[in-house]
Amino acid sequence: MSTEPKAIDELLGRSYRHGFVTDIDSDTLPPGLDEDVVRFISRKKKEPEFLTSWRLKAYRHWLTMKEPHWAKLRVNPIDYQAISYFSAPKPKADAPKSLDEVDPKLLETYAKLGVPLHERARLAGVAVDAVFDSVSVATTFKERLAEAGVIFCSFSDAVQNHPALIERYLGTVVPITDNFFASLNSAVFSDGSFVYVPPGVRCPMELSTYFRINAAKTGQFERTLIIAAPGSHVSYLEGCTAPMRDENQLHAAVVELVAEDDAQIKYSTVQNWYPGDEKGVGGIYNFVTKRGECRGRNSKISWTQVETGSAITWKYPSCVLKGENSVGEFYSVATANNYQQADTGTKMIHIGANTKSTIVSKGISAGHGQNSYRGLVKILPSAHGARNFTQCDSLLMGGNCGAHTFPYIETRNPSATVEHEASTSKISEDQLFYCLQRGVDEEDAVNMIVSGFCKTVLKELPMEFAVEAQNLLAVSLEGAVG
Amino acid sequence: MSLLKIENLSATVGGKKVLNGLSLTLNAGEVHAIMGPNGSGKSTLSYVLAGRPGYEITGGSVLFEGRDLTTLAPEERARAGLFLGFQYPVEIPGVNNVYLLKAAVNARRKALGLPEVDAYEFLQLVRGKMKLMQMDESFLSRGVNEGFSGGEKKRNEILQMLVIEPKLAVLDETDSGLDIDALKVVAKGVNTLRSADRGVLLITHYQRLLDHVVPDQVHVLARGRIAKSGDKSLALELEKRGYDWVLEVA
C-alpha cells in the first residue's frame, strides 16, 4: 500500500474528471467496476491494507467466475458495468419535503403495518431534520450493550475500531471464492452490521438494524458479521419491515455467523424489498449469501426468515455444523405474488458427531408467482448419529402460480437419520366459504388461512416481529384471491 | 312476518337443475326437519341459502325476516343471522378454534354496530358452551377441525352455532356419523338454541335425531321440491315405509 498513494491520487483526479463531486456526503461513483473502483471504495472507507488486498483478491477471483443460472429463476441480464458501486445517500434536495409528497399508496401500506408516524416519515425518506425518539432510544441501547461488553456497530466502524476481529473472522464462513455474488460483495461491499458477543454473555436485548440508524440506508452490497464467543447468546433481527422505494436493482449481501462452544445465535429476517409492480416491472434482485458456522461443541444457529418482497429472491441461509452436538435450524416463509420469483431454502452441512438440524419451509404462491424450495442436507462421514428433519409445505392461491421443491440429500454416514416431509395444497374454496359463512370477510379469511399455514414459522420470530410479519403477509398477498 | 319464506325456488349447480319450484315457510320459534332420498336437493338447499358460489338461483325468491336474501354476499347473510352447520366441516390447519369463533362473533357485532367482545368474558362464554357440548378445553387451542374425528367436527359445528347465536340455523346432516351418545349431545345443543325468536332447519336422513329434537314440521324433499309435509309422525312413517310411496304421490 505504501507505494500506492500516487496511484490513488491519480484515480481520484480521474474520477473527478468524470463529473465526480468533492462533497464527500453526496458523491456517487460513475457506473462501472474495475480494480480502481475497488481501491477507491477501500480508500474512501479508510480501510487497513489487509482489507484492501482482501477486496482485490475477491475482485480478481470474481473476474474468473460466471453468473450462476441453476436456480429456477428468470433473470433479466445484469450489466455489472452499469451499476455504480459507491453511492452516498440521496441528496436531500431530491427527497420529499413532507409526508404530503409521499406516494399515498406507500403511506397506506405503512398504516396497515402499524408503523408509527415518525417512523413512516423516516422510512419514506422524508428529508426532515427533526430528531426522532429513536435517537435517544439508540443511545440507551448503546449504553446497555457497552455495559455487557457487546460490540454492535456498523461494519465500517468495526473496521476502524476492531480491525483484529475483522481480520480474524471475515471470510472464514463465506470465503471470497464462495460464489459469484459473494465474491462480488467481498470486492465492493459498502457497509453492514458487526456484532461481537464476549464469552459467557447473554446479550441483554434483541439486536436490530431497525435501531441502528446509520444502517437504515446502507447500499446494495451489505456485509454482516456476527461472532458469538463461547457460552454467549444473541438474537439479531434484520430487515426493514416496510417497502423501500427502489428501482429494479441488484442487492447482493453476505452474512456470516460464527458460534463458538455452547454459543447460540438466532438470526431473524423480515425481507420486504420492493417486489415490482403488478405487471412485474421493477423490483429488487435479492441475491444473498447467508451462512453460519457452528464452530464449537453444543453451539446452535437458528435462521428464521419471512420473505415477502423482492422481484427475485435467491438465498439459502445455511449452517455448517462442525462442533459436536451442534444444532442448525431454518424456519422460512416465502411468498411470491404477481410476477415475483423466489428460489430459497437452506443447506445443512453435518460434519460433527451428533449434530442435529431442522428445516421448516412454507412457500406461498399467488398470482403468477413462482416459488421454489431448494435445500441440501449433507451428512459427512465424520457426522456419526447426525439427524435431520425437513418439512416443506407449499400453498397455492389461484391457478397461474407455481410451487416447486428441490430437496437434495447426501448421506455418507450410515448412522444418520434424515426425514423429509412435503405437501402442496391450495387455499380451498371450502376453507374460504367456511370462514365467509361464519361472517368473516374474504380478506380476513385469506389472512387467517395463510397465517395458520405459516404458524410453525411465525412462532419462531420474536413476539413484536411476529405481529408485523403477519401484517406484512396480509399486505403482500392483498387481492390474491377473488 | 316469517323468519324464512322460500317461494317457488329453482337453482342449478354446474348447469344442472337441482331445485325446482321449492316453497317453504318457517316462522320464528319453529324447528322444521327436511328429509328425502339422496340427490333430492337437501344439501343444495342449504348451500343456496348460505350463498355458496356456484349455486345459481334461476327463479323464485328467498326472504329472511322480509329481506331478500339472494342479493346478499355469504358473509352478509351470516352476519344477518344465518348459520350453516356443514355436513363435512373443513379443516383449517394452524387457525385456532377460538380465534375463528371470536372473529365470527366480532364480525356480527361489527355489523350490528356493537364493540368487540371482551376477551376474558368471551372465553368464559365459550367455556360454558363447551361444557354443554362435552368438549375438552384443549379444543380451544387446536386448529379449526384439525385432526378432529367426524363426531368432534359435528360437535364443533354446534359449539360454533351456540356461541354465534344465529336467528336461523340450517344444520346439514349434523347427525350423520354420530354414535348415540354424541347424537344426544348434539341434540341438547340444538334444543338449547331453540327459542321463540329463532328457527332451525334440520336436514337429516334419519328419524332418530327427531326423537331428541322434536320438529314442528317435517318435509320430504324430492326432485328439488317439497313433495310432502306433515308433523313429526311423518318422520316415523318414512322410517317405516321409506320414500317410494311419497315419490309416487309426488
CA distance B249 to chain A (A): 36
The verdict on A434 touching B (C-beta cutoff 8 Å) is: yes
Residues of A in contact with B116 (CB under 8 A): none
Contacts of B213 by beta carbon, 8 Å cutoff, 6+ apart: B31, B187, B190, B191, B194, B200, B202
DSSP-derived secondary structure letter, A202: B
Mean pLDDT is lowest, of A103-107, A369-373, A375-379, B10-14, for A103-107
Mean pLDDT is lowest, of A77-91, A302-316, A344-358, for A77-91
Residue B16: helix, strand or coil by DSSP? Answer: strand
Residues of B in contact with A434 (CB under 8 A): 86, 89-90, 92, 144
pLDDT score recorded for residue B34: 96
Contact B104 A442 (CB under 8 A): no
Residues of B in contact with A437 (CB under 8 A): 50, 74-75, 77-78, 83-84, 86
Burial (0-12, 13-18, 19+ Cβ within 10 Å), B168: buried
Rounded CA-CA distance A379/A350 in Å is 5
Q: How confident is the model at residue A307 (pLDDT cuts 50, 70, 90)?
A: confident
CB-CB: which of B75, B79, B143 is closest to A452? B143
Please answer whether residues A228 and A234 qualify as being in contact, where contact means their C-beta atoms are separated by less than 8 angstroms: yes
ipTM of this complex prediction, to 2 decimal places: 0.95
pLDDT score recorded for residue A112: 61
Q: Which amino acid is at A61?
A: H
> Could you tell me how far CA A318 lies from the centroid of its own chain?
12
The verdict on A432 touching B (C-beta cutoff 8 Å) is: no
pLDDT higher than 90, residue A233: yes
Mean pLDDT is lowest, of A113-122, A435-444, B19-28, B144-153, for A113-122
pLDDT score recorded for residue A343: 85
CB-CB: which of B89, B94, B100 is closest to A455? B94
pLDDT score recorded for residue A140: 60
CB-CB: which of B90, B111, B143 is closest to A434? B90
Q: Which residue of A has its CA nearest to B94?
A: A452
CB-CB: which of B73, B78, B92 is closest to A449? B92
Please answer whether residues A86 and A190 qualify as being in contact, where contact means their C-beta atoms are separated by less than 8 angstroms: yes
Q: Which residue of A has its CA nearest to B160?
A: A438
Report residue B50 as a C-alpha cell.
348460505
Mean pLDDT is lowest, of A244-253, A314-323, A339-348, A390-399, for A244-253
CA distance B236 to chain A (A): 33
CA distance B234 to chain A (A): 31
Contacts of A30 by beta carbon, 8 Å cutoff, 6+ apart: A15, A18, A19, A20, A84
The verdict on A455 touching B (C-beta cutoff 8 Å) is: yes
pLDDT in tens, A117-147: 555 555 554 433 333 334 444 556 777 888 9
Task: Calculate mean pLDDT across residues A1-23.
Answer: 36
Which is nearest to B2 in space by CA: B55, B51, B64? B64
Q: How confident is the model at residue A51 (pLDDT cuts 50, 70, 90)?
A: very high
The verdict on A128 touching B (C-beta cutoff 8 Å) is: no
pLDDT score recorded for residue A426: 79
pLDDT in tens, B46-65: 999 999 999 999 999 999 99
pLDDT score recorded for residue A456: 85
CA distance A379 to chain B (A): 32
Please answer whether residues A311 and A337 qualify as being in contact, where contact means their C-beta atoms are separated by less than 8 angstroms: no
Residues of B in contact with A450 (CB under 8 A): none
Report residue A351 as a C-alpha cell.
460434519
CA distance B250 to chain A (A): 33
Q: Which residue of A has its CA nearest to B48?
A: A437
Report residue B8 as a C-alpha cell.
317457488
Q: What percent of chain A stands above pLDDT 90? A: 39
pLDDT score recorded for residue A210: 53
Mean pLDDT is lowest, of A121-125, A290-294, B33-37, for A121-125
Mean pLDDT is lowest, of A133-142, A216-225, A308-317, B38-47, for A133-142
Contact B107 A441 (CB under 8 A): yes
Cα(first)–Cα(last) distance of chain B, in Å? 29
Contact A437 B53 (CB under 8 A): no
The verdict on A459 touching B (C-beta cutoff 8 Å) is: no
Q: Which residues pair with B84 in a beta bridge?
A: B170
pLDDT higher than 80, residue A18: no
CA distance A451 to chain B (A): 7
Residues of A in contact with B50 (CB under 8 A): 433, 437
Contact B94 A441 (CB under 8 A): no
Residues of A in contact with B142 (CB under 8 A): none
Q: Name every residue in B having a CB less than 8 A away from some CB of A.
A: 50, 52-53, 73-75, 77-79, 83-84, 86, 89-90, 92-95, 99-100, 103-104, 107-108, 111, 143-144, 160, 164
Q: Which residue of A has its CA nearest to B145?
A: A431
Please answer whether residues B26 and B150 qualify as being in contact, where contact means their C-beta atoms are separated by less than 8 angstroms: no
Report residue A448 as a C-alpha cell.
387467517
Phi/psi at A270 (5° precision) = -120, 110
Contact B107 A456 (CB under 8 A): no
Task: Calculate mean pLDDT across residues B102-111.
Answer: 92
Q: What is the pTM of this model?
A: 0.78
A2 or A450, higher pLDDT: A450
Rounded CA-CA distance B247/B19 in Å is 16
Mean pLDDT is lowest, of A5-14, B119-128, B170-179, for A5-14
CA distance A393 to chain B (A): 12
A358 or A401, higher pLDDT: A358
Average pLDDT of every residue of chain A: 80
pLDDT in tens, A61-80: 999 998 888 777 777 778 88
Task: Calculate mean pLDDT across residues A267-287.
Answer: 76
A266 or A306, higher pLDDT: A266
pLDDT score recorded for residue A133: 39
pLDDT higher than 90, residue A475: no
Please answer whether residues A403 and A361 qualify as being in contact, where contact means their C-beta atoms are separated by less than 8 angstroms: no
Give strand ranges (E) for A222-273.
223-228, 233-238, 249-251, 254-259, 264-271
